[in-house]
Amino acid sequence: MPDDLVFFLIQVLNGVQYGLLLFLVASGLTLVFGIMGVINLAHGSFYMMGAYIAFSLTALTGNLWIAILLGVPLAALVGFALETLLFRHLYCRDHLFQVLLTYGLILVLEELRSLAVGDDVHGIAVPKLLDFSIPLTGALSYPVYRLAMSLVCLAVATGMALLIQRTRLGMTIRAGASNREMVEVLGIDIGRIYRLVFAGGVALAAFAGMIAAPAASVYPGMGNEILIISFVVVVIGGIGSIKGAFLGSLLIGLASTFGQVYAPESAGMAVYLVMAAVLLWRPTGLFGRIS
């Protein structure tokens, strides 16, 4: 194969990989909105938190796998606590107060991070097991770690789809999204469902941060960056739609990767242009319910 074509295919792989990673963050955001009706600006901070947890625990234990195994339940616990302390008070409130509270939460989480680990940029070594590349042509190769990331993200996405579509818990979650009162009348503790969904969303975002850490770097602004891109994904896919979040993530992953390769000057704008185009065509996103 000519180098140009291989290069193009590598970019496609990179775009899909970034898109799948985005999906882990955006799916939590869209679920929390679709089910609880809460817009959570602090969702990106959970991604940042995950990366820093991975960094700290890897430094402590010397092993990324152990760091992830310990870190994900830790993140879920944080999500559980935040739901109990703060977010449950937001369900019936105007979006305005949700924006206000979650913005305050960003400030708190960022400064706690600054106090605990500092403001430096860090890197995490790729685990030895995956630290090699597949040679494609004489000059080009593809790192296995990125491939593994894509596979893990795909597995998580499939698991989530099965959970929501095929299990009793998933059925309850879907029911709660469409009619909260009815679910409560049927004797189901909706508060427990909300806590589970919220903790799950936090764990997913943190997990995304953990596996992304070795491929990129760990830096203070990473949470806000992914938050805003996730918003774009959710807007494109339609708020509350997992399917939409999946397609939106891939679209944005590809647009952003190709933008960086072929038009680095205006790469930052590429994803927003995609969003504007989708909005012109469908104001409620690809799979959005018409409100």
Q: What does the binding site for another protein look like in residue numbers (CB under 8 A)?
A: 33, 39, 41, 86, 89, 94-97, 99-101, 103-108, 110-112, 114-115, 224, 228, 231-232, 234-235, 239, 265-269, 272-273, 275-276, 279-280, 283-285, 288, 291
- Residue closer to another protein by CB (options 213, 275) is 275
- Residue closer to another protein by CB (options 95, 192) is 95
Taking the complex as a whole, the smallest distance from the CB of residue 85 to another protein amounts, in Å, to 10
- Residue closer to another protein by CB (options 39, 183) is 39
- Residue closer to another protein by CB (options 201, 288) is 288
Taking the complex as a whole, the smallest distance from the CB of residue 168 to another protein amounts, in Å, to 29
Amino acid identity of 271?
A: V
E strand spans, the chain: 133-135, 141-143
Taking the complex as a whole, the smallest distance from the CB of residue 58 to another protein amounts, in Å, to 25
- Please give the torsion angle defined by the CA atoms of residues 89, 90, 96 and 100, in that order, rounded to the nearest 10 degrees: 60
Taking the complex as a whole, the smallest distance from the CB of residue 152 to another protein amounts, in Å, to 28
Taking the complex as a whole, the smallest distance from the CB of residue 182 to another protein amounts, in Å, to 23
CA of residue 130 relative to chain centroid, distance: 23
Give the side-chain half-sphere CA count within 13 A for 48.
26
Give CA–CA dist 239/39, Å, rounded.
10
Contact 201, 142 (CB under 8 A): no
What are the structure tokens assigned to 224, written together?
Answer: 């806000």
H helices present in 86-143, as ranges? 95-117
Taking the complex as a whole, the smallest distance from the CB of residue 239 to another protein amounts, in Å, to 6
DSSP 8-state assignment for residue 290: P
- Residue closer to another protein by CB (options 4, 94) is 94
DSSP 8-state assignment for residue 90: G
Give CA–CA dist 206/199, Å, rounded.
10
Give CA–CA dist 120/263, Å, rounded.
29
- Residue closer to another protein by CB (options 103, 262) is 103
Taking the complex as a whole, the smallest distance from the CB of residue 267 to another protein amounts, in Å, to 7
Residue 260 CA: distances (Å) to CA of 222, 263, 288:
17, 6, 29
- Residue closer to another protein by CB (options 67, 233) is 233
Residue with the two structure tokens 């860090």:
122
